[in-house]
Amino acid sequence: MQAILYQTGPHASIYLLADGRHCPVEDFLAKVSDDHPDEFAKLTKLLDYSCNHGLPRNRQKINTLGEGLFEFKTIGGLRLIGFWDANRIILCTNGFLKKRQTTPSGDLAMAVKWKRAYETAKAVHNVSFIEDPP
C-alpha cells in the first residue's frame, strides 16, 4: 500500500491512499477538476486551510462519519473521505459527488475498506509513504 503526499503544512499533511494499481482519490480529483472546477477550487482551498490551520470546526465543511472517518465537504456536493493517523497525518480514501441527504453506503463502505487495509498494512510495516509523486 502507498500513501502519496498531496499537500502539507504546519498542522497536517494530507496523503492519498493507493494500492499500487490505482488511487481512487487521484481519479476523483482529476475528474472533478474538469467537471466541477469551481467546487474543485473550494475543496482545494479547504484542504489547504486544513494543512495550515487544522480542520475547520464548521460542520458545513467537515463532518464525522463514524469508524474514525470524516469528510471534507463543499456546498456544491463534493466530498472527500479521510481519517487521521499519527503525527498529524490525514489519509484520504475516496471522494464522490453527493446527490442525496445521506452519504452513499457504497462510498462509506469503500472508505472503511481502505482504512482497514491501511491499518493492516501499517501493522506489518507494509506502507510506503511517497513524498515526491511522479
Q: pTM of the prediction? A: 0.91
Q: What was the pLDDT predicted at 133?
A: 59
Q: What was the pLDDT predicted at 57?
A: 86
What is the Cβ-side half-sphere exposure of residue 105, based on CA atoms within 13 angstroms? 0
Q: What was the pLDDT predicted at 45?
A: 96
d(CA 69, CA 124): 22
Q: What is the DSSP letter of 100?
A: S
Main-chain dihedrals φ then ψ at residue 28, nearest 5 degrees:
-60, -50
Q: What was the pLDDT predicted at 134?
A: 53
Q: What was the pLDDT predicted at 20?
A: 81
d(CA 91, CA 105): 20
Tens-level pLDDT at each residue, the chain (134 residues)? 999 999 999 999 999 999 987 899 999 999 999 999 999 999 999 999 999 999 888 888 999 999 999 999 999 999 999 999 988 999 999 999 987 777 778 899 999 999 999 999 999 999 999 997 55
As beta bridge partners, residue 81 has: 71, 94
| CA distances to 29, 39, 64, 80 from 107, in Å | 15, 19, 14, 10
Q: Give the cell for residue 76.
A: 456544491
What number does CATH give the domain 2-130?
3.30.2310.20
Q: What was the pLDDT predicted at 27?
A: 94
Q: Which residue has the cell 503525527?
A: 87
